[in-house]
Amino acid sequence: MLINIIRYVFHILLTTRRPLYKYLKSIASNYKNLDILEIGSGDTTLNQSAEPIFHNASSFIQTDINNEYFISRNVWKVYSLFKWMDLNKVKI
């Protein structure tokens, strides 16, 4: 319960979702007829997924909702972290 309150306050104070959605909307037209894998779709009751933004995608897989992607979701999280580190030239 406490973690949900902290998360809610955090999202109000640091409105990261709005700039992220704005960025995704700006690049969505470049991704037509592609397969999109959304890692961490968020709460579906709060419409936190980016699925409506990529309406021209041929398929849109949400790893949080589709349990057969549970193991690969963790692999993609690690891969995306290392890819980000590579692109930003971060050394460990």
Task: State the Cα–Cα distance between residues 66 and 32, nearest whole angstrom.
Answer: 22
Residue 92 inside a domain? The answer is no
| Domain of 47, in residue numbers | 2-87
For residue 14, pLDDT beyond 80: no
As a whole-number percent, the residues of the chain with pLDDT over 90 amount to 1
Task: State the Cα–Cα distance between residues 73 and 33, nearest whole angstrom.
Answer: 22
Number of structural domains in the chain: 1
pLDDT digits (tens, 9 = 90+) for 20-65: 888 888 988 888 888 887 777 666 677 778 888 888 888 887 776 6
Task: State the Cα–Cα distance between residues 54 and 33, nearest whole angstrom.
Answer: 10
Mean pLDDT of the chain: 77
